[in-house]
Amino acid sequence: MGKSIARTALLLLPLQAVFRTGEAILPLLLAAWFGRNPETDVFYLAWAFFTFAGTIVASGFQDSALIPILSEVHTRRPEELPRIAGSLLTHLLVYGSLVSVLLGAVALGWFRLRYEGPLFAVAASTTVPFVAMLVALGVRSFFVGVLNMRGRFAAHPVASGTGMTISLGFIAMFKGALGVAVIPTAFLLGELVAIGILAGITRGMLGMKLEFSLERPEPVRRFAKLVASEVTGSAITRINPVVDQLIAGFSGVVGAGTVLRYAFDVASLPTSIAQATVLPVLLSAFSRSVSSGLIHEYRRTLVRALVVVCGLLVLMSVVLFAVRGPLLRMVFLHGKMDPEGVEQMAEVLPYALVGVAPFGALLILARAHVALQNSRIMISMGLLNAGLNAGFNVLFFEFIGLRGIALSTSVMHAAVALVFWVRLGVRLREQG
Flag whether 39 is in a domain: yes
Domain residues for the domain of 268 are 3-427
The yes-or-no verdict on residue 58 having pLDDT over 80 is no
Q: Are 370 and 279 in contact (CB under 8 A)?
A: no
Kindly state whether residue 11 falls inside one of the protein's structural domains: yes
13, pLDDT greater than 70: no
**Residue 119, domain member (yes or no):** yes
pTM of the model: 0.69
| Poorest-pLDDT segment among 310-319, 325-334, 411-420 | 325-334
Mean pLDDT across the stretch 46-72?
75
Q: Is residue 432 part of a domain?
A: no
In a domain, 251, yes or no: yes
**Is 139 domain-assigned?**
yes
The answer to whether residue 15 is domain-embedded is: yes
* Contact assessment for residue 420 and residue 388, using Cβ atoms and an 8 Å cutoff: no
Whole-angstrom Cα distance, residue 307 to residue 286?
Answer: 16
Is there a contact between 213 and 91 (Cβ–Cβ < 8 Å)?
Answer: no
Handedness of CA 218, 219, 220, 226 (dihedral sign): positive
Render pLDDT for 155-166 as a digit per residue (tens, 0 to 9): 888 898 899 999
Smallest CA-to-CA distance from 238 within 389, 365, 372 is with 389
Number of domains making up the chain: 1
Q: Residue 12 — pLDDT band, cuts 50, 70, 90?
A: low
Q: Measured between alpha carbons, how far is residue 394 from residues 222, 241, 404 in Å? A: 39, 14, 8
Among 22-36, 70-84, 245-259, 378-392, which range has the highest average pLDDT? Answer: 378-392
